[in-house]
């Protein structure tokens, strides 16, 4: 079906992994070089990118048969779509009217030290007033918008591997 793809699913999973590495490197560049502090939703998106990359790397190293490749493809797609939902929420918060933006909460370090893990996860996934700030744009699109595009591309690329299996030689 996908005969135009000349790469094996293993090679494609490696490419997906390196794409995730590039996205994480860009995030750390923005944080440590450009001094843009990540909000809780940004960190949640990084975690989703890391998990997708981990799935892709595991799939590439494992190099399973047809059913295993399909399982990894579905898992990678689900992880990427979950990350996309976090990005979509971030975009939504950025487009709220100023009076509807959630209040800024305590810093993530403080929450991790003083609240249970369930409260920390709830904060990270719900977003705060910090998440409403747009600190960077490219082609008039904010960073969460670009991250959503990356997640959708990851999901599509991973799902394509469902049909891209080639027998090992």
Place of tokens 């990540």: 38
Do residues 164 and 12 lie in contact, with contact meaning Cβ atoms separated by under 8 Å? yes
DSSP state letter for 96: S
Residue 3 is predicted with a pLDDT of: 54
Domain span holding position 145: 38-160
Q: 11-35: per-residue pLDDT in tens?
A: 889 999 999 999 999 999 988 898 8
Residue 63: give its domain's CATH number. 1.20.1550
Q: 35-74: per-residue pLDDT in tens?
A: 888 888 888 899 999 999 999 999 999 988 888 889 999 9
In a domain, 14, yes or no: no
Q: How far is CA 146 from the centre of its chain?
A: 11
Q: 135-150: per-residue pLDDT in tens?
A: 877 898 889 999 999 9
Which of 36, 40, 51, 46 minimizes the C-alpha distance to 115?
Answer: 40
* Number of compact structural domains in the chain: 1
**Quick check: 125 pLDDT over 70?**
no
In a domain, 11, yes or no: no
In a domain, 95, yes or no: yes
Residue 4 is predicted with a pLDDT of: 55
Q: Classify residue 7 by burial, with Cβ atoms within 10 Å: 0-12, 13-18, 19+.
A: middle
Task: Using only the alpha carbons of the chain, give its radius of gyration.
Answer: 18
User: Which pLDDT band, with edges at 50, 70 and 90, does 83 fall under?
Assistant: very high
Tokens of 108: 């993530």
Mean pLDDT score of the chain, rounded to an integer? Answer: 83
Q: Cα(24)–Cα(163) distance, rounded to whole angstroms?
A: 28
Do residues 130 and 104 lie in contact, with contact meaning Cβ atoms separated by under 8 Å? yes
DSSP state letter for 104: P
């Amino acid at each position: 079906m996908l005969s135009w793809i000349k790469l094996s699913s293993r090679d494609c999973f490696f490419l997906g992994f390196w794409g995730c590495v590039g996205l994480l490197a860009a995030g750390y560049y923005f944080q440590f070089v450009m001094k843009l502090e990540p909000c809780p939703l940004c960190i949640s998106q990084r975690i989703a990118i890391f998990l997708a990359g981990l799935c892709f790397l595991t799939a590439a190293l494992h190099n399973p048969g047809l059913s295993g490749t399909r399982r990894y493809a579905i898992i990678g797609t689900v992880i990427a779509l979950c990350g996309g939902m976090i990005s979509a929420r971030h975009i939504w918060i950025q487009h709220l009217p100023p009076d509807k933006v959630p209040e800024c909460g305590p810093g993530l370090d403080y929450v991790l030290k003083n609240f249970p893990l369930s409260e920390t996860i709830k904060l990270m996934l719900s977003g705060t007033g910090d998440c409403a700030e747009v600190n960077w744009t490219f082609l008039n699109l904010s960073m969460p918008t670009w991250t959503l595009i990356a997640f959708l591309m990851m999901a599509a690329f991973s799902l394509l591997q469902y049909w891209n299996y080639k027998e090992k030689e």
